[in-house]
Structure 1
Amino acid sequence: MSVTAQSVWDNCLEFIKDNIQPQAYKTWFEPIIAVKLTDNALSVQVPSKFFYEWLEEHYVKILKVSLTKELGETAKLVYIIKMENTYGNKQPFTEKIPSSNRSSVKSQDVDIPLNNKSPELRNPFVIPGIRNVKIESQLNPNYSFENFLEGDSNRLARSAGLAVSAKPGGTSFNPLLIFGGVGLGKTHLAHAIGVDIKDKYPEKTVLYISAEKFTQQYIDAVKKNNRNDFIHFYQIIDVLIIDDVQFFSGKTGTQDVFFHIFNHLHQNGKQVILTSDKAPVDMQDIEQRLLSRFKWGLSAELQTPDFETRVSILKNKLYRDGVEMPEDIVEYVAKNIKTNVRELEGAIISLIAQSSFNKKEITIDLARVIVEKFVKNTKREVSIDYIQKIVSDYFQMDIDTLQSKTRKRHIVQARQLAMFFAKKFTKASLASIGSQIGKRDHATVLHACKTVDNLSSTDKQFRKYVEDITKKLSV
């Protein structure tokens, strides 16, 4: 059988596949195409210069071993980088990159498109017909660290944000993924980091964008055949902040383009900040190669603020608005609105407005009326504490018993139901649910949810438990 570039490369891949992680193989070796075999030199095509550099940095030894096995000690590896020419020239310019010093493979001749001229880059934020080369940050200066109050529920995320803003791209928090439920301050914190970086490093290009807008820009770029300009625009950003990254779910084209942008930014020491309503482990329909990159840095959760933090948030809001309010009324509002910061501030604004428009003194009675109306008219997110109370009351046990280490069947089932409903009715991560229901890990919560699903379909009595508790939680 004749030896061809493809047969040599297939044999190399067999060896490589047995010696590295499956995900790494899929990400870094499946896209490579064998091109030709000439004088013991195997030429392979890779998608980008970044791709070539990554292989050289991380996989040069295994490439040398596999190639030497096939072609002997005189084996050479030649990389060919084929990129679409961005600016309309039919034939790309090329240059030869000398052999890397760190590489043991004998030679790397790399064909790379050169754009020696710097044509005007299309800025997807510029309105057609209006010339504006400057990239505006799209940040809201009203969102700052000063008005993002620290508490147990957000300390890790806030501290990580401060570290990133002090040294963007220079910490291990890259990317920084901030996740949590609605109204807990993800967008606020993301803006605060960006605003602080702009203050400290005016020369850096900082850009905030929602995942939805990013997706729409990408769709427009594809329609206008500007895909490469779109990628290059985002590759020049120093600090990229993408809000609600879970919006990429199921959008394979957007995920693919963001994957390449992310790789370029990360490789070049640029900072990426993401927000999401879920932890990476809970995200659905996001490619594994992207999820693995989300986990490269730090995932920091914003949880529901405790009573003391809620009081501090209200006092800070009143101070900023120049309004005085009796302590007992502030505490009443904080005790009765627990779900998130947005609802908390909304209630206090409503209270101030009612008092001002109707010229009424702010009293506990007025606060009670406003809070009751506000809570009734606001879609309530059921808390994990509330779920545990409903489930433990239903099974006539206290919460300590529900959370205990006991393996008694009826207690284990009650605990599993609490975890199941926490996942169903809240946006808390599996890890957060586990830590709040008996200090378990996310794998235990995942197992509990599967068990409840299975028992619901096979056990009539258990199905009744699920239906009864669902009704109680849906009231």
Structure 2
Amino acid sequence: MAEHEYIEEIRQVWDLVKESFRKSLSDTTVNLWFGEIDILSFSRDLITMSIPSEFKYSIVKEKYLDKIQAEFSRLLGFDIRVELVFTGSPTAADTVRSVLPEKADLPEHSEKAAPAAEAPLSAGSSDEADRDEDEQVMPVYSFEYTFDNFIVGSTNKFAHAACIAVANHPATNYNPLFIYGHSGLGKTHLMCAIINRMKENNPDVKITYTKGEDFTNQMISCLANKSMDEFRDRFRKCDALLIDDIQFIAGKMSIQEEFFHTFNALFEEKKQIILTSDRPPRDIKLLEDRLKSRFEWGLLADIEPPDLELRIAIIKNKAEQVNVTIPDDVLNFLGENLRSNIRQIEGAIKKLGALSFLSGRAITMDVARVCISELLGGAEPVSSTLDRVFITVTKKYGISREEMVGPKRNKEIANARHACIFLIRQVTDMSLPAIAKVFNRDHATIMSSLKNVDSRMQVDSDFLAELTDMKREIVGY
């Protein structure tokens, strides 16, 4: 395959570059300056990127191009030059300036932008209030996020079912619908799926979708421009209001006051309200009690981190989407180690695909280990820790790994197996079902084994000392 045909793969690496910038820059900054950049061409030593705005071109070239080149080189594993070209757009500069504050300070290096609520009321430009209503209220949401391509498992099936019910029958049984869970677990996917289903059911439905931060910023802008009636019309004259990351309004008294009245107006008119947060209402500090109680009027649906089975299904699905072939042993390895969230999984798949096509090699366990060691922040993959546990237990009791995971149940093998299961539970964060899979047993058997060890430790000080010594050896190996 010719190098120019790898544009799509380089775009995936570019997504990883932008994701890494989000660690030091705000989402608003990343979207503003890098959102319109595309990959124009690629060769083994040069990536050419295009940008349609002359104004953005000058800013990105001056402040960020060196960082972009360095991050590309780091992710690809070799030095590569990055060139940025201006492709031309007669109104691009004016468009960019129209959404910037009149005296905006461009973000410097790695400092995150200050929260919008801390900015003075003059932070919004007068041009911003005159922009099209949909442009202001509706952040870009993906038409590709649907219920059909949301991977369902035990940790998210309740939230998934609740969202389908709300999308098909808004403002009936579950109002408001409050979805909570850590970042990267699929809350926004479900929000977009709701929007797409509601529009599919009723093309004329009026939906307002925004983020807690954007709600705050728009209110500040409208206060400054004395256009609060317009602001209220945007958020109260709709059939459904969806707000991502509602916890952002916590601690901002005037914002909470306005949202309180917005909530009441919509609820009284029997309009659907859907909110997401990284925690349940009761745990959002500095959120007014009257809002907490209203958020709990309807249905609370939590999304937990995916279990092993769901992680493997997600990895397989994401790999198929980008035409990356991953062998079963690597799938299991990734599933055991990529535990944080779905974004981490997507990042790993993109990086694996890039490493594979650039090196011309198939994706193997060695390639996967190199890939995820960086994603894990230097932490050791679970499989390496498992190996150390088995080695340590074998050395202590003279029972092989094959015997411990095998079907034999004589006393010596059973004792070693119990100790091994206990130590795995102690030195890893593997779930009981995941440990059961290692030993070819069921969840109940693993629980019974742990109870056996616990009971024995309470009456056998020598056994307790053995386990303590082995754990110390494993951790300090």
How far 1:249 sits from its partner (Å)?
0.8
The C-alpha deviation readout for 1:350-376, integer Å capped at 9, x for no partner, is 111100112122111111111112212
2:249 alignment partner in structure 1: 248
**Amino acid aligned to 1:141:** F
1:240 alignment partner, SS class: strand
Q: How does 1:171-320 map to 2 (within 5 A)?
A: 172-320=173-321
1:94 alignment partner in structure 2: none
1:269 alignment partner, SS class: coil
Q: Distance in 2 between matches of 1:368 and 1:202?
A: 47
1:376 alignment partner, SS class: coil
Q: Distance in 2 between matches of 1:254 and 1:152?
A: 36
The C-alpha deviation readout for 1:340-359, integer Å capped at 9, x for no partner, is 11111211211111001121
Aligned CA distance change for structure 1 residues 358 and 134 (closer, same or farther; 3 Å): closer
| Equivalent of 1:152 in 154, 165, 171 | 154
Structure 1 contact 174–271 (Cα < 8 Å) conserved: yes
**Amino acid aligned to 1:275:** T
1:48 alignment partner in structure 2: none
Segments of structure 2 that go 5 or more residues without pairing to the other structure are 1-124, 382-425, 427-474
Q: How does 1:39-50 map to 2 (within 5 A)?
A: none
Structure 1 contact 191–208 (Cα < 8 Å) conserved: no
Q: Distance in 1 between matches of 2:329 and 2:197?
A: 35
1:332 alignment partner, SS class: helix
How far 1:146 sits from its partner (Å)?
2.1
| Equivalent of 1:168 in 162, 167, 170 | 170
Aligned CA distance change for structure 1 residues 268 and 376 (closer, same or farther; 3 Å): same
**Amino acid aligned to 1:161:** C
Q: Distance in 2 between matches of 1:129 and 1:255?
A: 24
Aligned CA distance change for structure 1 residues 202 and 282 (closer, same or farther; 3 Å): same
Structure 2 contact 212–245 (Cα < 8 Å) conserved: yes
Q: Distance in 2 between matches of 1:131 and 1:212?
A: 19
2:275 alignment partner, SS class: strand
| Equivalent of 2:145 in 143, 146, 150 | 143
Aligned CA distance change for structure 1 residues 128 and 248 (closer, same or farther; 3 Å): closer
Aligned length: 258
Segments of structure 1 that go 5 or more residues without pairing to the other structure are 1-123, 381-417, 419-472
1:340 alignment partner in structure 2: 341
**Amino acid aligned to 2:174:** F
Structure 1 contact 333–348 (Cα < 8 Å) conserved: no
The C-alpha deviation readout for 1:224-262, integer Å capped at 9, x for no partner, is 112232112211111111010110110111111111111
Aligned CA distance change for structure 1 residues 272 and 324 (closer, same or farther; 3 Å): same
Structure 2 contact 126–225 (Cα < 8 Å) conserved: no
The C-alpha deviation readout for 1:76-113, integer Å capped at 9, x for no partner, is xxxxxxxxxxxxxxxxxxxxxxxxxxxxxxxxxxxxxx
Structure with more contact order per residue of length (Cα contacts < 8 Å, sep ≥ 6): 2
Identity of aligned residues (%): 37
Aligned CA distance change for structure 1 residues 341 and 133 (closer, same or farther; 3 Å): closer
Q: TM-score, normalised by structure 1?
A: 0.51
How far 1:322 sits from its partner (Å)?
2.5
Q: Distance in 1 between matches of 2:137 and 2:259?
A: 20
Q: Distance in 2 between matches of 1:156 and 1:126?
A: 43
1:296 alignment partner, SS class: coil
The C-alpha deviation readout for 1:414-452, integer Å capped at 9, x for no partner, is xxxx9xxxxxxxxxxxxxxxxxxxxxxxxxxxxxxxxxx
1:34 alignment partner in structure 2: none
1:208 alignment partner, SS class: strand
The C-alpha deviation readout for 1:13-48, integer Å capped at 9, x for no partner, is xxxxxxxxxxxxxxxxxxxxxxxxxxxxxxxxxxxx
Of stretches 137-146 and 250-259 in structure 1, the one that deviates more from structure 2 is: 137-146
**Amino acid aligned to 1:258:** F
Aligned CA distance change for structure 1 residues 357 and 214 (closer, same or farther; 3 Å): same
1:327 alignment partner in structure 2: 328
**Amino acid aligned to 2:179:** I
How far 1:130 sits from its partner (Å)?
5.8
2:190 alignment partner, SS class: helix
1:77 alignment partner in structure 2: none
Q: Distance in 1 between matches of 2:134 and 2:191?
A: 25
How far 1:128 sits from its partner (Å)?
5.8
Structure 1 contact 179–278 (Cα < 8 Å) conserved: yes
Q: TM-score, normalised by structure 2?
A: 0.51
**Amino acid aligned to 2:178:** L
Q: CA RMSD in A?
A: 2.7
Aligned CA distance change for structure 1 residues 131 and 290 (closer, same or farther; 3 Å): closer
Q: Distance in 1 between matches of 2:169 and 2:378?
A: 43
Aligned CA distance change for structure 1 residues 331 and 271 (closer, same or farther; 3 Å): same
How far 1:131 sits from its partner (Å)?
6.0
1:351 alignment partner in structure 2: 352
Aligned CA distance change for structure 1 residues 377 and 262 (closer, same or farther; 3 Å): farther
* Structure that is richer in helix per residue: 2
2:314 alignment partner, SS class: helix
